[in-house]
Chains A and B, each alone.
Chain A
Amino acid sequence: MTSIIFLQWMIALSYLLAAGLLVTCNRWPRMEVVAIGLASLGLLLHIAMVLVRGLDSGQIPIVTRYEDFTVDALSMASVWLLVQWRWPQLRSAGILVLPLAAFVVVAALTYSLGVFPMSPALRTNWLVIHASLNSLAVGFATLTLAVGLQRKRGSMHLVGLLMSWTFLFWCAMVAAGSYWASIAWGRFWGWDPIECWSLGTIFIYAFVLHLRMRPRWREGYRSALVGVLPFGLMMFTTYGLVFVMRSVHGQYLFQ
């Protein structure tokens, strides 16, 4: 238990240090490589920790709130690392993404590290697909927010693309969850609070993506402003909703 807490802090520290080094890149450009190396090291530790957790618990480690936070942080860091490889101009977004990932890794420790066995009806591969797509959407949404808030010339046109991928993963997550529900509970859609708010998040993302077709909403402070709205809604749906409303997802996400 203590080693996991130590490892989790080490991962957070490596992400924070990498973000700190990225800040100094304007002055010392070579620090960029060190920052990426450090973030990659943190990511490797992170992946190893999640794998060990999965082997220990005998199920995909994305069920409890602790596991959800840990895997979402993993997704944030890995999405940034992959995307900055394709578009180096997005590297500086790590200044926001990596501290957020570090915060989420540490925040995970505030929840129980115990294992919550899922009921047999829920233990299908759709759990893996549904939960992974959710984490991917959170990873892309965080990067989109970071790029949007930085408002750097030469990367603003990528906000729309990243947001589109976020939208796609989120919609696919809802579809996978819906299909899973049809198998496990006998209905595609039950108007559960999390289902309703997920649908609301889809509508808001679709609205913002359409709004971005107008040039004046594509750049400048307006773009950053409308980028925050769907992200905030997604965060509330994923993390906040089970605290204020009873949901079938709360059975395991509260653990």
Chain B
Amino acid sequence: MPFDPTTSTLVSLRDAIATKKISAGEAAAAYLARIASINPSLNAYREVLAEKAAARAAQVDAGRVRGPLAGVPIAIKDCMCYAEGTTCAGSNMLRGHRSPFTATAVKKLEDAGAVILGTTNMDEFAMGSSTETCAYGKVSNPWDVTRVPGGSSGGASAAMAADLAAAALGSDTGGSIRQPAAVTGTVGLKPTYGRVSRWGLIAYASSLDQIGTFTRSVGDAALLAKIMFGADPLDGTTAQMGVPADLDQVESAPGRMRIGVARQFTQDGANEPSVQRAYEEALAVYKAAGAEVVEVDLPHTKYGIPCYYLVATAEASSNLARYTGMHYGHRAKDAGDLADLYRKSRAEGFGAEVKRRIMLGTHALSSGYYDAYYTRALKVRRLIRNDFDTAFASCDAILCPTTTGPAFRIGEKTGDPLTMYMNDVYTVTANLAGLPAISLPAGFSAAEGGKLPVGVQLIGQAFDEARLLRIARVHERATGHHLVRPVL
């Protein structure tokens, strides 16, 4: 059987290109052909850089580009500045924006020889859980095109589930990699805060944003992690520490494996039966693999969403203050004075959800409310982190569902912002505490006759992705859920 670059793992595709089993040009052409045929029905990509990708692949084949990712086709998210294309962050504010520079994370992939296929759609400024706030159209879930692919990295998750890239970068502020990964049956890794440079990542909430990956396997996530992790002189909030040499050795035994379970992730019948079943199956997998299951308590979990929506929107209101229509971005045509120009440019450039979050954050930071909302949220953030510190004294990773249910229907939750916000109930606390977490394909929901993926999440200790990935690999190896593909 000929080697199929669009279904193989990143690791085996990289090896196939390196050993000339397939050329980089053939790999790029296979993906570009698949994108041309399937993307119109999904809208996963906003921009496909077909010519540039083909030219780059030719350079790999000519031996002019080398590296541990030589010739591997990868998609980036629309909030990652890329000098070779446009960067719009899912917003009309940045329609047609041509960044003068390339984000460090993307640059590192290019330096390793990767071929950038294009840019995937996302919720506007990464604010959403369904990719329905995207100014460039909604994105469909490849498992059921009437359903959302999750969000905010919904273009990335849809692209991965439909095999339109060998890997895709995403960003995760409250669950924007893990939630879409869960509902599309892909592997989604959010590294520890500070592991991957945010330079060139269009900011949503700077103390929470972290770049990570969508991949077909845990091993692929580990390979990309090893390349993207590390301190960046251009981002003072990258961790000033080295990257473990064995980070990509996911086949190694994790060693001590104490799996923490907390009642806060399974109580009140919050989980759809298929999610609960997937979680219990994962727990059984770990027990069978010799793990010790430890009960931990994360009593402040339910305060995660309210805490997150104050902290994230406060930071967003500040970050998005830069969009004034002055140096770049949308400028209103018919404004009077400067203040009017700001107000109108922002009113025209931003969509409804972005306006809501700017308003919420501005309110939370305003005189008279600052302490009651913002400072209190930061204190609760400390309590959430303290919960994890206590839990990790007795376990190595915490297992929980990624979401409470499978993908919902397009339009189902757009009427009520609060319902939409609850999608991130199991994912936000890892962002607030800065911890690494990974969502793994964990089986399927048979709801309404559909075959909809569900995920489980493992939350690890800060900067211990090596162990987290090895523990994740134990589940992947035992279940094989990641190998099931949608019919397109």
Whether A associates with B in a native complex is no
- Chain B positions within 8 Å of A, measured between CB atoms, are none
